[in-house]
Amino acid sequence: MRLDCFPDAPPQWDRVVVDAFAKVAPRYRLDKSKEYPFVEMAAVAEQFGGITRWEWRKPESSGLARFKKNDILFGKITPCAENGKVALVRDWPTDFGLGSTEFIVLSPRERVDPRWAYAVLCANPVLGRAISRMEGSTGRLRVTEDTFTKWLYVPLPSPSEQAGIAKILDATDTAIERTRAALDDARRVESGVLHALLTCGIDLRRGIRKREERPSEFTALRWGWYPTAWEASSVAEEFDLATGFTLGEHRRPRLNRRRYLRVANVQRGYIVLDDVAELEAKDREMVDRTLALDDMLIVEGHADPYQIGRCARVPAEAVGLTFQNHLYRLRCRRLDPRFAELWMNSQESRRYWQRMCSTSSGLNTINQRKLKAMPIFVPEPDEQKRIADIARCHRIHVAALESEVSRMERLRRGLMQDLLTGRVRTGVAGSAVLDADGALSGSEPTRRPRAAAGVAAR
């Protein structure tokens, strides 16, 4: 039974199998003595992020995928297809290229806009149905070529409408790429500023201290150079430490149900409360294990060594909850909790854990002794506050850009669905088009997707 991927598309658009607009696995004759750019599966970014790199290789193996400019590489093996490893070959150094045997190559036919064909193959209705027809043994499922030659049908607009759809999606992609670039820049600035704040500090008169300008204000310690005015201390001296509940059958919630936080709830710098589990614990067991505002939770064990020691402060919404044994609870004695969280998540702290954590059965862990011995340098209370305030301003800026990227990506998905189903028409009389400023316009305002013009105009 054929699968119509866009049943709500205009009836005047012909329904065609994918192979009718993009030839599946075309055969290209290449010179075996020449080298061509080769793309491995790992070189195609997930979530339709494009080709990130290539190497040079001769076409010695007949099984390698062969493609040319404007062809589409479709990762067919699980989980590559599910993760959106689909790429349009653009800005290519040669006319042809080689790829992994796990790519299906789709070559847009004459009078088909490659950008439109790529958008169709990335759309959820097409990708999802292709994945649903995967075949093979468990763990080695693959999308088969006949999925595109026999089963998946899509509506085929005119070449002018294809070009119009591609132009609008290109404009939104450009806007998203610019916002992502701004986000990357903001993250780099934030990281650099935090490192300077936590190693040099800040004073009221001169801003961030610079050792090359004022060497007398710094002291060399075995951990590096730090402001002389800062007090060298340790986690044991600055925090009260508590351990969480060890889970087991005796903790299955029955009479005394307590909501508790797990490792997954504690991210670097924030607590996730979407999925909070319960355990059994009596009142006397909760005395030292009830979370208070601005307590800090430290991750004790993780398969990824980079995640060891990640830390987050307890927000008001989590007050009164408890926590499991793979987390440590730290309660500040004299430190500003915001400064303490910055320190525990800093580059200096991560380097400490990379040196000190041990591995057991593939799980990287820390213990109380190593946590208590961790060094921390303590500025005056006012300086702690200034450092935390500056860091907060940078975090707000980064978070705003992260939110904007997510918003624009959601709008793009909705816009792409509207364009591919014909709810928004392009390239025909009275249809939506891009004006000279790159904004979406048209004579059918009721068919215009909400906020689409704002996205395209950015």
Average pLDDT score over residue span 270-296: 95
Pull the structure tokens for residue 90.
């653009």
What are the tens digits of pLDDT across the range 391-408?
A: 999 999 999 999 999 999
Any domain includes 225: no
Whether 363 and 397 map to the same domain: the answer is: no
Average pLDDT score over residue span 330-344: 96
Helix, strand and coil content of the chain, in percent to the nearest 5, comes to: 35, 25, 40
Pull the structure tokens for residue 401.
């850009």
The domain in which residue 258 lies consists of: 231-378
Any domain includes 47: yes
d(CA 206, CA 383): 13
Of 57-61, 129-133, 216-220, 370-374, the range with the lowest mean pLDDT is 57-61
Residue where a domain terminates, one of 378, 406, 430: 378
Distances (CA, A) of 96 to 21, 22, 26, 33: 20, 17, 12, 14
Whether 281 and 311 map to the same domain: the answer is: yes
Model confidence at 301, pLDDT cuts 50, 70, 90, reads confident
Is the distance from CB of 289 to CB of 269 less than 8 angstroms?
Answer: no
pLDDT attached to residue 441: 45
Residue where a domain terminates, one of 362, 378, 394: 378
Is the distance from CB of 292 to CB of 314 less than 8 angstroms?
Answer: yes
- What is the number of domains present in the chain? 3
CATH number at residue 350: 3.90.220.20
Average pLDDT score over residue span 66-92: 94
What are the tens digits of pLDDT across the range 410-456?
A: 999 999 999 999 998 886 544 444 343 334 444 333 333 333 333 33
Pull the structure tokens for residue 287.
């005395």
Report the chain's terminal Cα–Cα distance, integer Å: 43
Whether 437 and 341 map to the same domain: the answer is: no
Any domain includes 87: yes
Whether 11 and 112 map to the same domain: the answer is: yes
CATH number at residue 413: 1.10.287.1120
Whether 186 and 288 map to the same domain: the answer is: no
Opening angle at CA 303, ends 302 and 305, nearest 5: 75
Whether 2 and 112 map to the same domain: the answer is: yes
What are the tens digits of pLDDT across the range 164-219?
A: 999 999 999 999 999 999 999 999 999 999 999 999 999 877 689 888 888 999 99
How buried is residue 324: exposed, middle or buried, by Cβ count under 10 Å (0-12/13-18/19+)? buried
pLDDT attached to residue 247: 93
Residue where a domain terminates, one of 363, 378, 393: 378
Of 78-87, 238-247, 440-449, the range with the lowest mean pLDDT is 440-449
Place of tokens 């830390």: 311
Any domain includes 224: no
Whether 277 and 398 map to the same domain: the answer is: no
Any domain includes 223: no
